[in-house]
Amino acid sequence: MSSTASPPDPFAIAAHLHVLLRRKTGRVTDTEWMATNPDYAREIVRHALEKAASDNLPELRPWAEKLERAISHMAKQPPPKPLLQAAADALHAGRVTPDAARGMPTPRAGGFAHSMPGHTSGFIESTLNSVLGTTRKDGDDSPEGRYVGGLR
């Protein structure tokens, strides 16, 4: 029986290497960028291998090598669209309504209300405030109005 190895998951490798680099060297990386951009990934591999040798951190080497192997799989995938282009495409395809694009609430299936400031849920307000002797009025941004019993 032959087994074919599945391609490495660049996100899992990038996440693990990110944590190791952060804990061992203090280097903060961008996991998503590392998993999708071959040039950035190569630089992180170079940095991790350099730190593994210079700072005696052998645990970095296997993960840097895994990321290096995953780079060839990254190059075969189309690069991700820029966020603004993806949002515009979604809007034009009708997956996002114009109201939602402007931050306006849209009706939801199932009858549940949005939990957005300024919109009431339709549920009876909690009785905790009446037990504590405090009341909250809409628009009351004072500490007494925002926190239970005025406590933070």
Residue ranges covered by each domain of the chain: 10-76, 124-152
Classify 148 as helix, strand or coil: helix
> How high is the pLDDT of residue 56?
96
Residues 34-47: tens digit of each pLDDT: 998 899 999 999 99
Mean pLDDT of 66-95: 78
pTM equals 0.49
pLDDT given at position 73 = 79
What is the predicted pLDDT for the residue at 31?
A: 92
- Which position has the higher pLDDT, 44 or 101? 44
Average pLDDT, the chain: 74
Give the pLDDT of residue 88. Answer: 79
**Which residues are within 8 A (CB) of 129 and not within 5 positions of it... i.e. 6 or more apart?**
135, 136, 148
SS3 67: helix
More confident position, 103 or 33:
33
pLDDT surpassing 50 at residue 72:
yes
